[in-house]
Amino acid sequence: MAGKGDGGSGFRGIEDDLKTGGIDRAAPILLCGAEVFLVDHYEKKLAERFGGGASAFLDLNVFRGGEAKDEEIMSACDTVPMLAPRRVVIVKNHPGLSGGSGAGGPAGASAVSSAGGGASRGRGAGKTQKNSGLEGYLPALPETVRLIFTAAGVNKTRTLYKALAKAGRVYEFSRLSEDEARSFARKRFKAMGLAIPFGRLGEFLAQTGYLDKDSETDLFGVANEAAKLGAFVRAEGRGEVTSEDIAECLSGTLQTDVFAVLDAISNGRKAESVRLLENSLALGESPFRLLSLFTGHFEIMLGYKEMQEKGYSPSKMMSVFNMKNDWRLKRLGGFASRFSKEKLRAILHRLYNIDGDIKSGNISDRLALTLLIAEM
């Protein structure tokens, strides 16, 4: 049966299968989804696991694109490994996994790396003879091969996708949930020999902006920020990440910049808030991305103010806002305390109107944002 990973469950699913050994049976595997970092990461991890170490490159075949025929892929799968316990065959972005519905288009992928020259068993008899093409071959993979397909985007109506889902395991990596993102970040720090408490993981992720609505930050960005932070902490000769480390090392992230603007606005430092905004724009940040962040933060600030008046506890507020850590709530709650509810409503109304003004061409995006911050 297929080990399908729907949405963000591909991350949890593959980790569970790696621990239990369920991924080790002779069945095709598809790694796909928007989080290309995870697709690449698990491709390498599985190739190393299945290939058995340093000599694996002699028994590794990598195919790309849509130039080689499926016959070449099947021939590679039928070739006996020379040194490794199993031959590993990787097929990247097979055209049969994307595009229109139904059967795949041009068969196969260009063989850019085809190491190893073991004897081919051939496929002249038995189950695969009764089924034409790669789709019919998948259920009868030899025990001595592990076949891995990778793709960023897939069309689940394609025949090849359906055949892979039926004969093997599909792990689809979409954006991670907050719990999954914490697990991902913790593994990055652990690999560097660093400890980071649970709450501080949430603080780190909040600073990266990965969990923000409509965030453009992907796991490559999170991994880079973790590496930068880890290098700083280790250079200091310490083994645990502190809040001060996060603030200092991630001070150039968009989330941190927006909080700095909010801090200046809420304290009446308008000139500083405009300067900070212009710095972000000068560094190439999208005005629409900034507008989205400001809108989301002010919505939380107004909600915080209203729930506080109703006597909601911080844990209840976190549940309403679907937050897993209190760092962001504390920051935005602190900003909210410096505004009246009426002022917050007026700012939100202005933010909603600005989006329409920009899209209608009545005002440029940069000027609209600058004027808005000055008016606050």
In a domain, 296, yes or no: yes
> Of 251, 279, 310, which one is at a domain's C-terminal end?
251
DSSP 45: H
The per-residue pLDDT for 112 is 44
DSSP string of 221-236? HHHHHHHHHHHHHHHT
pLDDT tens for each residue of 239-259: 999 988 888 777 656 666 777
Question: Mean pLDDT over residues 257-282, rounded?
Answer: 81
pLDDT exceeds cutoff 60 at 127: no
Residues 208, 355: one domain? no
Residues 277 and 341 in one domain: yes
pLDDT band at 129 (very low <50, low <70, confident <90, very high): very low
Domain boundary among 251, 274, 294: 251
Burial of 62 (0-12, 13-18, 19+ CB in 10 A): buried
User: Is the model's pLDDT at 321 over the cut of 70?
Assistant: yes
More confident call, 301 vs 263:
301
Say which DSSP state 177 is in.
P
Q: How far apart are CA 313 and CA 323, in angstroms?
A: 13
For 53-110, the pLDDT digits (tens) are 655 567 899 998 777 689 999 999 999 998 888 899 999 999 999 876 555 544 445 4
Domain assignment present for residue 106? The answer is yes
Number of structural domains, the chain? 3
Say if 1 falls within a structural domain.
no
Q: Domain span at residue 311? A: 253-376
Global pTM reads 0.63
Tokens of residue 180, six digits: 């999954």
* Model confidence at 194: pLDDT above 60: yes
User: Is residue 170's pLDDT more than 90?
Assistant: yes
What local confidence, expressed as pLDDT, does residue 2 receive?
Answer: 40
Phi and psi, residue 32, nearest 5°: -150, 170
**Percent of the chain predicted with pLDDT > 70:** 84
Residue 122: pLDDT over 60: no
Given a cut of 90, whether residue 31 has pLDDT beyond it is: yes
Q: Are 126 and 138 part of one and the same domain?
A: yes
The last residue of one of the domains, among 117, 152, 172, is: 172
Q: Which backbone phi and psi does 35 adopt, to 5 degrees?
A: -85, 85
